[in-house]
């Protein structure tokens, strides 16, 4: 009798995990995405083939954001650094925010170049910023396009 209970338990757990995966992989839209502005701390910079994926933390609300930037060099602007904070305007790539789950991949295309952003536990959208060109910071008052 104990052997049957163990098998039943394993099947129940397996079905539960399978149903959670189906729920999480359905790309559930939560709300309309908005542009966000403020002071953001650079927590991590990941180099990828066509650009960079930056993990930023909003210093006021402690929200985290994934931001993509294409590889570019602008010598007359300062280079951003991990641990430093910058005044940025973040524009969502997708019109809607999604239920975040690990394993989700965001396909981003900027100027014909593709960047794939793997989700973090907090990633519900991916953002871009006119204040970033590659790893160079363009202050809102400087205005390079």
Provide the residue ranges of all domains of the chain, joining segments of one domain with +.
30-137
Phi, psi of 136 (to 5 degrees): -110, 140
Q: What is the pLDDT of residue 68?
A: 96
Q: What is the pLDDT of residue 25?
A: 41
Segment 38-90, tens digit of pLDDT: 999 999 999 999 999 999 999 888 889 999 999 988 878 999 999 999 999 99
Ramachandran sector of residue 59 (left: φ over 0; alpha: ψ -120 to 50; beta: rest): alpha
pTM for the model = 0.73
Phi, psi of 90 (to 5 degrees): -105, 130
């Amino acid at each position: 009798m104990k052997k049957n209970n163990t098998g039943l338990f394993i099947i129940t757990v397996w079905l539960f995990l399978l149903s959670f995966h189906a729920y999480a992989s359905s790309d559930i839209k939560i709300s309309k995405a908005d542009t966000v502005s403020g002071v953001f701390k650079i927590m991590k910079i990941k180099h990828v083939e066509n650009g960079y994926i930056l993990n930023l933390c909003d210093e006021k609300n402690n929200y985290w954001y994934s931001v993509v930037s294409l590889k570019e060099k602008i010598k007359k602007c300062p280079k951003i650094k991990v641990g430093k904070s910058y005044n940025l305007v973040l524009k969502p790539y997708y019109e809607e925010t999604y239920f975040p789950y690990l394993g989700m991949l965001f396909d981003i295309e900027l100027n014909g170049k593709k960047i794939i952003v793997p989700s973090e536990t907090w990633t519900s959208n991916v953002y871009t910023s006119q204040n970033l060109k590659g790893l160079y910071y363009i202050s809102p008052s400087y205005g390079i396009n």
